[in-house]
Structure 1
Amino acid sequence: MANPASRIQHYPLWYLPLAGIFALIYVSLSALSFTWIVLLFLALCFAAGAFWFKDIQNVLFFGFVFTSSISLTKALIVEGGIYTPGLSVTLSDIFLIPLLFLWLFDKKIVHGEKIYWSKLHFLPLIFLLWSWATMAISEDKLAGFFLCISFTKYFVIFVFFADYVKTPRQIRLIFYAFGLAMCVHFMMMFLELMVGNIIDLQGAKTTTTGTSLVFAEAGGVHAFRPSGFMGHPNALADLMVFLLPPMLMMLILGQSKIGNVRWMAILGLFVFGIIALLLTLSRAGWISFTAAVLFMLFIGYKRGVVMRKYINMLFVIGGISIIIAVMVFPTIYLRITESDERSSESRLAMMHQAALIIQRNPVVGVGIGGYNRAARANIPEFFAHLSPWFQDELLKGVVHNKYLLVMAEMGAIGLIIFVLMLWRFIMIVPNDRQWSDPVLFALALGVTASIFGQSIFYLFDHFYADQRITLSYLFFGLLTALLKIKTVQNRDLITTSKNVSQ
């Protein structure tokens, strides 16, 4: 098949709208500091390299996946509280916007093909449509409108991934990009640990809240929690929950299936990823990762992909690693046993508040983007035990539970759609026994485990409109693409068998 870039060259005016897009991006970012100007310049150099190597789409695709986990944003219009930034441009958008243009151009104009659509698309679409519907009743319609735009972008990312990813080469490209992103996060973590503080970059929505812990009952032991490029230690832990399960599944498959060099590279990244997860001191991250691994091992064992000896080996290695980690980093043990500096108390207070909002708006909620304003008008009795300063701090954010947030803003209807969507993506691979390629199944199971781990993480942290939601929809799209590839492989296998029998 001819390269998409070479086909595009037959259309002499195709570059004009692309140039216009880059011009709009540059104008929108022209007021930024030197950091973002440098990032934009590097992105343009990245695009120039794509033209030079005549593989524009895949280079931009690699760039988008690589930057999808880097939380550098610019809020163009700020509306709402801390966690409702309004309308923002992210670093990954610089790659995504021209990539979507080239994809649609090649799909519709060059080939005249339909965009891939499956049964997995319906629930995300329904959830998006319900988000837009609740905007009409939102306590803050402008914030709701901007959030709906962000949610529409996430849905487009899902549709794009499900359609665009068709070959094993593209799947490898995705994980090469994520591997490079992990290396970048590790380097930033190392710098943060060296200086003992968050390195604040222009466009990075970093926060110092919860990044430095003091364990008073343990003699005043201090612990710094690195964030990488994710803005907060919990977000970095969440990134590891996304990336580590598929890597572990590839390691279990063994060198004979994926090659010695790849296996060793994955092993190195996995070990550093585990260290990063531990150093974040994110209890939610630890719980979510453990749940994802147990889910993956259970399904893998039932399907005959993971042998009992590997499970026993992992438990032994895991136990020994935990003992060593506690000896080297005793703050890991202290994080579980000592005071959490009112972290649990704040979460409990916000859950009481969310429950009150839900009680008063049970069916359709207060509308998307309306949580912050509704929170100020719905003060639970639990808040009477808190100081005025602590109450003000809590009112700036949103409840640290994605399910309660969805129900508070979109009601029971929105929560049902959301849970069904997660359930559909989590159960489709375990319930599908028509996998002819064990490597493809193992990868799909690893991606499913990542989504399952995310569903557990939703119980403990705030998720609104950030890079973690981008990654969620990216993984939805990746899983859908893997299922699509599996269907094509099975159809080709059946056709080959028929030809042989004839």
Structure 2
Amino acid sequence: MSKPSIFKRIFDLTTDKALFIGLLILLFGVPIIFSPYTQCTVFLIKTVFFQTVVFALFILLVAGKLLRKESFVSIPLKVPLFLFLLLGFLSFFRTPYHHAVLEELLKFLSYFCLYVLVLETVRDSKRRKVVINALIFVTLAVCVYGILQRVGFYLFNWVPASGFRISSFYGNPNLLATHLVAVIPLLFVLILKKLNWTGIMAGATLGLALVCLIFTGTRSSWIGFVGSLVFLFFLLRWVKTFKLNWKALLTLGIIFLIVLSIIIINWDIIAGRISQMISFSGSVSIRIHLWEVTFDLIKSAPILGTGLGTFPVEFSRFKYPDFNLEVPIENILNAHNEYLEILAEMGILGLVIFLWFLSGFFGYAFRYIKNKKEQRLIVSGLISGVTAVLVGSLFNLGLRWTGSAFIFWFLISFTLSMISNEQKSKKTPTKQKKITLLHPVIYAMAILAIFLIAFWHIRMYQANVHLSKGESLLRKGKKAEAISELEKSWDKNPFCEVAVYLLGCLNLEQERFEEAKSWFERLEKLSPHFTNVHEWKGQLYFRLNELTMAEREYRLATKYRGTIFNHDMLGKIYFLEKRWDLAIEQFEFVCQKGSELLKTSPEPPRNKTLELKPEYKEKYEVTCAFIYCASCYYQLGEYLKTIQKLEQIEKEPLTSPQINSVVQLYVKIAWKYAQREVNLDLAVKLCHKAFEFEFSHPEMIHNTFAWVYFKKGMFKKAKEQMQKALELSPENQRYRKHLSIMEDALRGKFKKVKMGDFEE
């Protein structure tokens, strides 16, 4: 018997069995995989693992089909799927942010590949049982780790949202909750169907899953869970293919009592989460503000949207000035509403196609439930889980992240594979042929494609590892080493906005202005409004004395992030340009917002959501803003408003330069009043105020005070003040001249003197 050729052995890798094993690896791997070495611990590694494996499996499937001359199984709902992918592909030509489109398009392509793989490989009852058991076990593993987190045990360094909320292997409570609500209805119907070994495992997993769902604190998924229960109740009344037995009732009763006791024990926390939802406070308020801006984004391109994957890039353009004061998140990635996000990125057309697909999916399921007896109960559980996710997606981002989105698309694919399992692939009978040149060529192309995809994903992973190291070094204050790691991250992934952003900021801090400008120019092409980049670019141009460019950046900064810092810097630019009215407008904003800040101690922390902030001592700069504002009013001749601004910070702890500025303004106003011979009593008070501060040049106050008294006709006091000025500055010939004028006035030789401008 001849030994099989190498190509024949490779060919065997593309059999249904091998592909099915690959699918199970995905089902177990995606929910539980994590990496302690990357910046985000769980998010990136799930994407890298899933897309690498699913594309590899799909390429092998296609290669095998070509070689065996087989057609694919009938793909349900292929028209809306292809149209959605086509619309996403066209986004590539409609937006300059090609990398953002490509990244999101790859996600949807990977879900489509998963869809086809499940339809191709899960086509008999034996494999369906294996898949259902795999779903039970992976959910059990996720729940067990979630419970361990609740009691304080962590496998990796992930900071949960609070001590109450758990995230398991998902790194985010909302994503974990999406997984749980998707699977809970299936676990429920498995108990109802038959309490065999699978039913017992489903019962144990259901109990843990419900407890974990409570501990996620994810209200959107709680709503989705309730919605799925109502939906499932009506389906079960319709199906009527099972009989409740005492074992099932006892199991469900025990689960109910356990869950109820957990709710009672943690009721204060749960009630707090619910009260926020009712009162529209906390994160509920944040979502409302997000949707406000998202609606404006939708209006900008209502038919086709701004482009697949461009939401985080385009969102900042539509922020209102105080948005970041109400939403303390630096870089908005998602709308927290899947339907609004599809509307924003893909327009009305994209949302219609998506809803077309969903309605087709439920149409297939309802027809199956109505016309067939076999597996109706399982399909009812599956579509109830899909319903739970769709309801929760009104308020969360579960479908935008690989881990939770994988479960959603897997359930859809699995449901349709059950419904259409009678449709076999159409094989063309072929004789056993010798291996031709075509076979190795096809396999070589398949292996090359798999290698390229794997290589690309590995580079993304490596880039994120370097980014993680860079951020860790940055937190330790080792900026030079951090720059080295961040440059390695950018070298592996030139589209990593965070690395480019940090490199720009760090180079600016080290006064390497040309390098900083170069990094910010790169970021402009990737994400022009990334986090607080306009603040940093404004700082760059301000320090280069390019005031026109600095003004442009800070105007954008005040538009997208209306913070005290941004308005203060814009005010300083207008001040240097002597545009007093515009400067006053900005400084008044800072004074108004900063008044409460001056009453607090210690200084409140600035928003910590992302990486770096330009150096800004808030209390100090707020008091400076009052002084700047007063100076602008002085330049416009509005002296009473100048005095009013200065009086507001008299009791604040001022630095020596600030004291000098305050005193000079008081003295200059007093000089102006004396010069014009008006408000002389107020001028006297201003001079007295000036003496209350430790001014570095008190002789200037005495000189001004002398002239105020002189204009009031109080020549003796005028002489006394001028003598004190001369004592402090004996070399000042100008003061000597002033003293002689006042002595002449005392001797009756008074003559009207025209005062010159104030000399600082």
Q: TM-score range by the shorter chain?
A: 0.7 to 0.9
Pick one of 438, 442, 457 that aligns with 2:377: 442
State the Cα distance separating 1:313 from its structure 2 match: 9.6
Distance in 1, matches of 2:44 and 2:22, equals 26
State the Cα distance separating 1:101 from its structure 2 match: 4.3
| 1:380-399 correspondence to structure 2 within 5 Å | 380=320, 384=322, 386-388=323-325, 391=327, 393=329, 395-399=331-335
| Larger RCO, structures 1/2 (Cα 8 Å, 6+ apart) | 1
Distance in 1, matches of 2:37 and 2:345, equals 22
TM-score of the superposed pair, with normalisation by structure 2: 0.50
State the Cα distance separating 1:238 from its structure 2 match: 0.6
Contact 2:189 2:381 in 1 (8 A): yes
Amino acid of the structure 2 residue aligned with 1:337:
S
Partner of 1:5: none
The 10-residue stretch of structure 1 (285-294 or 111-120) with the greater mean CA deviation from structure 2? 111-120
Report SS of the residue matched to 2:168.
Answer: coil
Contact 1:127 1:417 in 2 (8 A): yes
What does the per-residue CA deviation read over 1:223-258, in whole Å, with 9 as the maximum and x for residues that have no partner? 421111112111111101111111111212233xxx
Distance in 1, matches of 2:282 and 2:5, equals 61
Contact 2:293 2:318 in 1 (8 A): yes
Amino acid of the structure 2 residue aligned with 1:104:
V
In our comparison, the structure showing a higher alpha carbon Rg is: 2
- Alpha-carbon distance change, 411 to 207 in structure 1, aligned in 2, over 3 angstroms: farther
Q: CA RMSD in A?
A: 3.6
Partner of 2:6: 12
State the Cα distance separating 1:121 from its structure 2 match: 2.2
- Alpha-carbon distance change, 89 to 268 in structure 1, aligned in 2, over 3 angstroms: closer
Amino acid of the structure 2 residue aligned with 1:60:
G
2:263 is equivalent to residue 326 of structure 1: yes
Contact 2:310 2:345 in 1 (8 A): yes
- Alpha-carbon distance change, 123 to 312 in structure 1, aligned in 2, over 3 angstroms: farther
- Alpha-carbon distance change, 119 to 399 in structure 1, aligned in 2, over 3 angstroms: same
Amino acid of the structure 2 residue aligned with 1:350:
L
Distance in 2, matches of 1:180 and 1:319, equals 21
Partner of 2:88: 131
2:319 is equivalent to residue 379 of structure 1: yes
| 1:208-287 correspondence to structure 2 within 5 Å | 208=160, 211-212=161-162, 223-255=163-195, 260-287=196-223
Report SS of the residue matched to 1:245.
Answer: helix
Partner of 1:472: 408
Distance in 1, matches of 2:370 and 2:393, equals 31
Amino acid of the structure 2 residue aligned with 1:99:
L
| 1:313-462 correspondence to structure 2 within 5 Å | 323-330=260-267, 331-337=269-275, 342-380=282-320, 384=322, 386-388=323-325, 391=327, 393=329, 395-432=331-368, 435-438=371-374, 440-462=375-397
Distance in 2, matches of 1:454 and 1:474, equals 13
Pick one of 410, 415, 419 that aligns with 1:483: 419
Distance in 1, matches of 2:362 and 2:389, equals 10
Distance in 1, matches of 2:363 and 2:372, equals 19
Contact 2:220 2:393 in 1 (8 A): no
Distance in 2, matches of 1:445 and 1:417, equals 24
What does the per-residue CA deviation read over 1:194-230, in whole Å, with 9 as the maximum and x for residues that have no partner? 326x6536xxxx664xx10xxxxxxxxxx42111111
Percent of aligned pairs with the same amino acid? 16
State the Cα distance separating 1:116 from its structure 2 match: 1.2
Contact 1:139 1:367 in 2 (8 A): no
Pick one of 143, 149, 153 that aligns with 2:106: 149
What does the per-residue CA deviation read over 1:106-149, in whole Å, with 9 as the maximum and x for residues that have no partner? 4332x321111234222122111111112322352221122112
**How many positions carry a matched residue from both structures?**
415
Distance in 2, matches of 1:317 and 1:186, equals 18
Distance in 1, matches of 2:27 and 2:225, equals 22
Partner of 1:103: 61
The 10-residue stretch of structure 1 (462-471 or 407-416) with the greater mean CA deviation from structure 2? 462-471
Distance in 1, matches of 2:70 and 2:263, equals 55
2:20 is equivalent to residue 58 of structure 1: yes
| 1:34-49 correspondence to structure 2 within 5 Å | none
Distance in 1, matches of 2:35 and 2:4, equals 36
State the Cα distance separating 1:392 from its structure 2 match: 6.0
Contact 2:80 2:356 in 1 (8 A): yes
Partner of 1:3: none
Contact 2:47 2:402 in 1 (8 A): no
What does the per-residue CA deviation read over 1:407-457, in whole Å, with 9 as the maximum and x for residues that have no partner? 00111111111122122212321234564443x111112111111111111
The 10-residue stretch of structure 1 (409-418 or 300-309) with the greater mean CA deviation from structure 2? 300-309
Distance in 1, matches of 2:95 and 2:37, equals 21
5+ residue gaps, structure 2, are 425-760
- Alpha-carbon distance change, 317 to 88 in structure 1, aligned in 2, over 3 angstroms: closer
State the Cα distance separating 1:354 from its structure 2 match: 0.5
Pick one of 51, 62, 75 that aligns with 1:118: 75
2:27 is equivalent to residue 70 of structure 1: no
Q: Following TM superposition, where does structure 1 have runs of at least 4 consecutive aligned residues deviating by more than 4 angstroms?
A: 14-18, 73-76, 85-89, 306-322, 338-341
Amino acid of the structure 2 residue aligned with 1:332:
I
Report SS of the residue matched to 2:333.
Answer: coil
Partner of 2:123: 166
Distance in 2, matches of 1:129 and 1:86, equals 25
State the Cα distance separating 1:17 from its structure 2 match: 10
Distance in 2, matches of 1:65 and 1:89, equals 13
